[in-house]
A and B are shown apart, each in its own frame.
Chain A
């Protein structure tokens, strides 16, 4: 061991300053780890030339087709020999974390032991952008060993390539009063029933599920996932009057008006003289104790979360909780970034049957994607190409005005069966009223 450290004047600059330095970590590993000495050599070269030197390849574990990100160096001398041979293979294993990213100190240590003992570099990222634990730096010959060890500890590989990807859920029910469903259960129900599509990549392109407990969407589900499950509620915002009064006592009328009332996007929050206030089945109210009552018109509330965020504990999600489902969020390639859009405005997610329904919906969307998307096309692009209506018809989901921002403004549609469609709407209205 103890290969001579390579001079790294550029990387050394990143040891300065107050923020924790990954370079200091790399150097600590390199003291008795030749792979990391050479890794630092390649990284320093990249800093000098501003070029990357990794190429992909095919490395995996027995029984799976994905989950390992192979990296082979392209930084070679004139005889095609790697300049930094000990880091010529530097693969990543993606490992799915416990839903919500909870760890005991003991588990962290066991992961460190397992990674070091099986030939790994000792470098771990908590976490990658899809939510994987990333074990970074492993030779081809050690990949199986490292995976087996983690697999024995109860951990499984994540997704890579044209496959179902590792999922993320927010902290949610574990520590947040805004949570509207059991995020970890939803994640594990949907992901663990579809692992074949994660471990044996055969979809048109990647597919991501993400789970946020409320519309604050802390895991960025609407922008980053093909199917976003967002917690919400149908009934009134719950009020803890004492807590609202406590906010009012500390902040006063100016903050209440400027930070709460005037920032409601649908003007659903108003201030009413307490002696003129009339209780209603759809209005949430908090008497402020100074002759004013704070009123929220729940029929016009869009569940944006703002007033709940400003008065935590005073205003809370309602009791009739559930989820909204949005489909088609994705990043830039190829048509530009797209947001997920509503396909299920509301469904309950409490009983085992509810979770089974979510699972079925997820499976149906995956199947439709597998059947209908072109190669390298995400769900959002597919919907852009075929139109939301065709997607909904394929999925047997009735149309609902909560799916749109506004109706079309052009006359370019053919509507031979208008009357039939009106009939469908009437049936849908009746069935949802029932």
Chain B
């Protein structure tokens, strides 16, 4: 083996060498933007310099041939500079507005959708799923691909009341994050424990400590040190599974999909909000998850028809009230929508404010 050298601890690289020269020149000195058409942004600096941005959707998980193709398009039709957004869209910046249309055509010809700006449904923030996660209840890239096929028009047009951000997560840890609509695995059965393995694989006190409802306790099972779960207390969250893989939480039938709405990271108008449960019990049906798509599309169509300009999902629901949300979407309201976690009483209606 060759001699090992210590790493160069260079940390986060300086972006300036990779940034479009017009953006470097006008760094911190921008004064205006507009949205000429879906997928295109226009920015003007105090100096009068202009830059156009064309935004395209990607699969996020990309083979190097695809990345080279995106790089070639940057050289042939743009100025050679790109950036990625937090939702894995690629942005091409050009200093000459006449390059916009040929660039859009080049991207469309290779199958990349142009959109994701302003009042569109942007690309779904997602996680690793079966491809790389050690605890996935479903896939990530596949769910996103299937859903974005269904939401393609909403990505390339900008016809929603305001922007719509989606996320998916393959377990309740919710790595996909808060979103206007979040699609998250919801387990419904306690973990199945392989007692032969627990003692050798799991640090039992830390597993006990992970449980949010103190349902796990050390036990001797078949003469071996193991763990047992009080199944009456268990909320099937799966928190014990990462530190203790023999406590299998994923189940092909009983791991369901839940849908949450109204998360908003921006401070615009209302303070940031967390998403709220609206549906659960949806089947985890690979490879195209049609039941999930149906509910998501129903929610989006209702929001599109009923939301007023600039209302994000949470603003819309805040205005019409939750009863109207369930009525208009036709989604069933159950006892599980009523928050009984700690602090949950703050989410009850402590008033006579009731719409009839």
Interface on A for B, CB 8 Å cutoff? 10-11, 13-14, 16-23, 25-26, 28-29, 39, 43, 46-47, 49-56, 61-64, 69, 71, 90, 92, 96-109, 111-112, 115-116, 122-129, 131, 136, 144, 147-148, 151-152, 154-157, 166-168, 170-171, 173-177, 179, 182, 184, 187-188, 191-192, 195, 198-199, 215-220, 222-224, 230, 240, 243, 255, 258-259, 263, 265, 302-306, 309-310, 312-313, 316, 331-337, 339, 375-376
- On whether the beta carbons of A26 and B145 are closer than 8 Å, the reply is no
- On whether the beta carbons of A102 and B64 are closer than 8 Å, the reply is no
- On whether the beta carbons of B177 and A224 are closer than 8 Å, the reply is yes
- On whether the beta carbons of B15 and A174 are closer than 8 Å, the reply is yes
Note all chain A residues with C-beta closer than 8 A to B71: 105-106, 108-109, 112
Partner of B274, one of A46, A69, A223: A223
Partner of B61, one of A49, A50, A51, A123: A123
Q: Which 6 A-B pairs have the closest CB atoms?
A: A17-B149, A313-B32, A192-B11, A25-B63, A215-B267, A46-B130
- On whether the beta carbons of A28 and B86 are closer than 8 Å, the reply is no
Give how many B residues have a beta carbon under 8 Å from the other chain's beta carbons. 115
A69 to B267: give the CA distance in the assembly, Å. Answer: 34
Q: Say what secondary structure dominates the interface of chain B.
A: loop
Contact sample, A vs B, 11 pairs, CB 8 Å cutoff: A21-B145, A47-B139, A98-B13, A102-B15, A102-B81, A136-B132, A151-B8, A154-B13, A168-B86, A177-B31, A224-B265
- Please, what's the 1-or-0 string for B236-258, where 1 marks a CB less than 8 Å from any CB in chain A? 01010000010000101001000
- On whether the beta carbons of B269 and A306 are closer than 8 Å, the reply is yes
Note all chain B residues with C-beta closer than 8 A to A125: 60-62, 88
A157 to B12: give the CA distance in the assembly, Å. Answer: 9
A14 to B90: give the CA distance in the assembly, Å. Answer: 21
A116 to B75: give the CA distance in the assembly, Å. Answer: 22
- On whether the beta carbons of A216 and B266 are closer than 8 Å, the reply is yes
A168 to B79: give the CA distance in the assembly, Å. Answer: 25
- On whether the beta carbons of B267 and A303 are closer than 8 Å, the reply is yes
B123 to chain A, nearest CB (A): 9
- On whether the beta carbons of B173 and A333 are closer than 8 Å, the reply is yes
- On whether the beta carbons of B86 and A220 are closer than 8 Å, the reply is yes
- On whether the beta carbons of B63 and A174 are closer than 8 Å, the reply is no
A21 to B43: give the CA distance in the assembly, Å. Answer: 31
A218 to B252: give the CA distance in the assembly, Å. Answer: 36
Note all chain B residues with C-beta closer than 8 A to A21: 59, 145
B78 to chain A, nearest CB (A): 8
Q: A50-B255, A177-B32, A337-B274 are in contact. Are A71 and B134 (CB under 8 A)?
A: yes
- Mark the stretch among B215-223, B282-290, B324-332 that contacts chain A: B282-290
- Please, what's the 1-or-0 string for B68-95, where 1 marks a CB less than 8 Å from any CB in chain A? 1011101100001111111010100100
B278 within 8 A of A: no
- On whether the beta carbons of A188 and B84 are closer than 8 Å, the reply is no
Note all chain A residues with C-beta closer than 8 A to B287: 10-11, 13-14, 47
B133 within 8 A of A: yes
Note all chain B residues with C-beta closer than 8 A to A71: 132, 134
- Mark the stretch among B96-104, B206-214, B297-305, B348-356 that contacts chain A: B206-214
- Please, what's the 1-or-0 string for B1-23, where 1 marks a CB less than 8 Å from any CB in chain A? 00011111111111101111001
Q: A18-B113, A177-B30, A313-B33 are in contact. Are A124 and B84 (CB under 8 A)?
A: no
B310 within 8 A of A: yes
- On whether the beta carbons of A376 and B206 are closer than 8 Å, the reply is yes
- On whether the beta carbons of A127 and B64 are closer than 8 Å, the reply is no
- Please, what's the 1-or-0 string for B128-147, where 1 marks a CB less than 8 Å from any CB in chain A? 11111111111101100110
- In chain A, what residue has the closest Cβ to B179? A220
A61 to B6: give the CA distance in the assembly, Å. Answer: 9
Q: A10-B287, A219-B86, A331-B174 are in contact. Are A50 and B252 (CB under 8 A)?
A: yes
Note all chain A residues with C-beta closer than 8 A to B250: 50-52
Partner of A47, one of B142, B149, B266: B142
- On whether the beta carbons of A104 and B81 are closer than 8 Å, the reply is yes
A188 to B149: give the CA distance in the assembly, Å. Answer: 37
- On whether the beta carbons of A100 and B15 are closer than 8 Å, the reply is yes
Note all chain B residues with C-beta closer than 8 A to A157: 7
A51 to B173: give the CA distance in the assembly, Å. Answer: 17
Note all chain B residues with C-beta closer than 8 A to A99: 12-15
Partner of B83, one of A39, A69, A100: A100
A171 to B17: give the CA distance in the assembly, Å. Answer: 15
